[in-house]
Structure 1
Amino acid sequence: MAEKYDVAVIGGGPAGYVSAIKAAMLGGKVILFEKDVVGGTCLNRGCIPTKSYIKTAETIEEIKNAGKRGIVNDPKTVVDMEQVVAYKDGVVKKLTGGVAGLLRSHGVTVISGEASLKDKTTVVCGGKEYAAAATLLCGGSVPGAIPIPGTELEGMLTSDTILDLKEVPGELCVIGGGVIGCEIATAFAAFGSKVTIVEYAQALIPMMDKELSAATEKSLKAAGITIMTATAVSQISKEGGKLTVKAGGNGIVCDKVLLCVGRKPDLSCLGSLSGEIKTEKRYVVVNEKMQTSIPNIYAPGDINGKSMLAHAAFKMGETAAKNALGAKERCKLSLVPSCVYTLPEVASVGMTEAEAVKTYGKDGILTGRFPFAANGRALACGHPEGLIKVIASKKYGELLGVHMMGAGVTEMIAEAASLMSAEVTVHEIAEIIHPHPTCSEAFMEACADALGKCIHLPKK
């Protein structure tokens, strides 16, 4: 007979390992199946590896600009990609090992292998069956593709495979100007590649507030990256060891091509129930409890497409674990911060200005801005680029959206998300004492600007 568990979790990524630990904390007997290495895309091929590369790029920029501070050195830098990859792999190994240790400490049974549903209460893995009262489908996602000739050619890369390159490409074409594409382009431009980004939409990172999208494009161009927006790629060819990307009426000749056109859910975990569990536009349909169309089966994380971010997956995983053991908790994802780790960084939470205008009307909102060029800490650190922009309702002062661009803003956005969750108004935030000199005080200043009473900006 199959051994029985309270909760079975298929997939050990952010949604999977967090839900397994949470279920164990709540007293459940839990089993987790992972076909690769625990930690999922985030730890192994996504968030953590790319941030390791971005920090290397940031270090290169600091070295190049050190002379401005009176530091006498040779600003010429050469990247040893084998060491870059080795450092990244060391960080990844430490974190994935830490996750494995957490699972052991909470008594979660971990099975290595590809698992899928046999029926509503049975998971099969490696020819063995495991019974569970509730199952959490945490299959995550895989890199997306586009139906054009040439994507199978040697030299084509995905956001997974580019992180194992042992040499810096002379010319790199990035197809897709979303978050991942812009981050990887930033890193390899700093490493020494001549980078071109081709984006089908009218602007880079189209979900971003238009003002910050334009500012991001400007900063990437300043870093030497060629940007082609509103441009479709029709085919990729190879001749003489070089790839040619046909984009619009142009042919972009390069050594490597990164295909970075989003991600799609990995539905292999649905197994025998793939025709029974409801899906829509490839994603598993879930309610706010993370339940699928089958009540004892849950699907938190990328697989449901609600928010393909690791921190959203953490929250969805916890919610699913609680409900799998009898709770009735709902997961609200309206205030999930989004971060882009370019140089400088971009972060946002809540509505864009266009969304706020659509909901409240142009005369129903307040906007405030504070540039880092007017912030003492940013200037002292040599990072004057960027701004903080806030959007609030005119009637009550409710903070509707916060959009930041600048050094370290991916750390600062948490304050905005916290205050928005607590429903603190722009009037109150403008009065909160922030430490000086810090970059974080620019948030307070932007809120004051929305009210027309910012001390450190000229009178309008």
Structure 2
Amino acid sequence: MTASATSITSSLPTGFDPNRTYRAAVIGAGSGGLTMAIGLAGFSHEVVLIEAGPVGGDCTNVGCVPSKALLHAAAHSIEDPFGYVRAKRDDLAGREEVEMDEHDTIHFLRGRARLTDQRSPHVVAVARPDGSEVEVRAENVIICAGSKPVEFAIEGMPSERVLTNETLFDLDEIPGRIVLIGGGAISLEMATAFRDLDVEVHIVELANRLIGNDDPLVSSTIQAALEARGVIMHIGTSIERFDAATNTVHLADGDQIDGVDYALLAVGRRPRLDGLGLDVAGVDHSPKGIVADDWGRTSVERIWAVGDITGNTLTTHGANAIGRRAVRAIALPYLLTTGSPRAMPNAVFCRPEIASVGISVEEVASKNRAGRRRYEVHFADTDRGYTDGVEHAVVMVDVERFTGKVLRAAIVGPAAGEMIGLFTMAIDHGIGLRKMFGTVHPYPAYAQAIGKLVDDFARDTYPALPKEWFAMIRGRIFDRFRRRVSR
């Protein structure tokens, strides 16, 4: 062994051997990477976990954890809300890093990884913080490199006034007026938090409605709720320029917003593909992410990809779900890798909350109208909604006639993120509204809105079972024919 090799090895984690072939090398210590590393370690496999940044990835450091901490701090009038956020974030990240450093079968390696063209075993080159490079040999490589916010310049606006989720939580002072660019989850949650902090909030959304991938009723309900709280909407327009002399944002529709302190870019995310050596290793990818199936398998045998890097999911629970499937496929290769993932719910923790599960809005619309029904119940029409003065809240569900099979469900309202679990379980286990009839919900819980919805389905279905059965059959025949024609 050369002197240089000895110095490099001595700076590596205790127990790590660059000449050994490990069961897996995991690139990225975010939610997907931690799921993979901890999961495989639970099967007594030794794993190398490679990370260049903070442990916990986006979720712990710039996403789910700090955003929910800010929502909590703002709602409870905590002094120094951004200090509170950073304390929560740093504490959790620190504990996660210690856990990885001290793990018996996970070798936590600091550095930036890239794939090579070597296989059997796969070789991953890792550029270390001290400028050295070490190779990791592994039977399997799992890429969990995550995503980053879409960024663009705003004409005339200094870069220090333009925020993303990666810089937002480093603010020291509460702004007086902020513009949130985009009408998706990040903007809706931050609009909620900043209004609680008494900040003047403007949302600028290019599309003709908020949260455009969800149901139009979801969009209109949450817009009405936020406007009732004082959020100012600019829908169907975009920012043209910023006048630094007056701190004025000029919009494409001719409107303007004066006295702006910051603009938050929240128009989407893109996978972190640069520098991974995907082309060298022959891994299929596109600007949308690494091409991977719902077990995490890529175009190269024993190279896997999980989480945001694939573009298949942009949520922590989505990365965890696919990660668990990939763990099973690697650790228990004798089991068949067949079947689809469980239903994947989504939630936005604005106020009121938004949650949904099931097939997409477009897929629902493509199904034969004669074979499906929609049911809606507004929280205001429930006793709990009445006592709490809930005005802008609704639960809606699209179902198959006769069986009540849940196609898609969406909730806007208090505790929506908790309530959606009932519909998620119904989809996973084939429990239609017909089987849910008679289920008892505690009075006066918000979940009674679901009970009322099921009652409406029962009133339509039970008095006309033959008619509903034929409608279901017609719908299924139409959908089967449509799928055959579209192939």
Same topology, TM > 0.5: yes
Q: Identify the TM-score tier after normalising by the shorter chain.
A: 0.7 to 0.9
The C-alpha deviation readout for 1:164-203, integer Å capped at 9, x for no partner, is: 2111211111111111111112211221211111111111
Following the alignment from structure 2 to structure 1, what is the Cα–Cα distance between the partners of residues 43 and 351?
41
Counterpart amino acid of residue 326 in structure 2? A
Following the alignment from structure 2 to structure 1, what is the Cα–Cα distance between the partners of residues 68 and 76?
12
Query: In the alignment, is residue 400 of structure 1 matched against residue 397 of structure 2?
Result: no
The C-alpha deviation readout for 1:321-377, integer Å capped at 9, x for no partner, is: 232345343573572111111111111111355532312x22221222222213333
C-alpha displacement at 1:232, in angstroms?
Answer: 2.9
Partner of 1:68: none
C-alpha displacement at 1:276, in angstroms?
Answer: 2.5
| Higher RCO (CA 8 Å, separation ≥ 6 residues) | 1
Query: In the alignment, is residue 423 of structure 1 matched against residue 424 of structure 2?
Result: no
Counterpart amino acid of residue 408 in structure 2? G
Following the alignment from structure 2 to structure 1, what is the Cα–Cα distance between the partners of residues 23 and 279?
20
Partner of 1:351: 359
Partner of 1:13: 30
Following the alignment from structure 1 to structure 2, what is the Cα–Cα distance between the partners of residues 113 and 52?
29
Following the alignment from structure 2 to structure 1, what is the Cα–Cα distance between the partners of residues 275 and 322?
18
Query: In the alignment, is residue 96 of structure 1 matched against residue 93 of structure 2?
Result: yes
Query: In the alignment, is residue 246 of structure 1 matched against residue 255 of structure 2?
Result: no
Distance 1:228 1:210, change over 3 A: same
Partner of 1:172: 178
Distance 1:341 1:281, change over 3 A: same
Following the alignment from structure 1 to structure 2, what is the Cα–Cα distance between the partners of residues 201 and 332?
32
Gaps of 5+ in 2: 1-17, 462-487
**3-state SS in 1 of match to 2:25:** strand
The C-alpha deviation readout for 1:286-313, integer Å capped at 9, x for no partner, is: 1232111111110100000011111000
C-alpha displacement at 1:241, in angstroms?
Answer: 6.8
Would the aligned equivalents of 1:351 and 1:400 in 2 still touch at CA under 8 Å?
Answer: yes
Following the alignment from structure 1 to structure 2, what is the Cα–Cα distance between the partners of residues 332 and 12?
26
Query: In the alignment, is residue 3 of structure 1 matched against residue 20 of structure 2?
Result: yes
Counterpart amino acid of residue 260 in structure 1? A
Distance 1:28 1:157, change over 3 A: same
Distance 1:41 1:351, change over 3 A: same
Would the aligned equivalents of 1:369 and 1:387 in 2 still touch at CA under 8 Å?
Answer: yes
The C-alpha deviation readout for 1:272-294, integer Å capped at 9, x for no partner, is: 64572111233110123211111
Identify the match of residue 381 of structure 2 among 374, 383, 388. 374
The C-alpha deviation readout for 1:226-253, integer Å capped at 9, x for no partner, is: 111221333x334237252433323333
Distance 1:433 1:269, change over 3 A: farther
Distance 1:15 1:106, change over 3 A: farther
Following the alignment from structure 1 to structure 2, what is the Cα–Cα distance between the partners of residues 319 and 145?
32
Query: Which structure 2 residues correspond to residues 269-418 of structure 1 after superposition, within 5 A?
Result: 270-271=276-277, 273=279, 276-325=282-331, 327=333, 328-329=336-337, 332-333=340-341, 335-351=343-359, 355-359=363-367, 361-418=368-425
Aligned length: 432
Task: Point out the more displaced range, 119-128 or 221-230.
Answer: 119-128
Query: Which structure 2 residues correspond to residues 219-238 of structure 1 after superposition, within 5 A?
Result: 219-234=225-240, 236-238=241-243
Counterpart amino acid of residue 280 in structure 1? S
Partner of 1:69: none
**3-state SS in 2 of match to 1:451:** helix
Would the aligned equivalents of 1:179 and 1:340 in 2 still touch at CA under 8 Å?
Answer: yes
Would the aligned equivalents of 1:174 and 1:197 in 2 still touch at CA under 8 Å?
Answer: yes
**3-state SS in 2 of match to 1:268:** coil
Partner of 2:49: 32
Partner of 1:182: 188
Partner of 2:84: 87
Partner of 1:76: none
Normalised TM-score (structure 1): 0.87
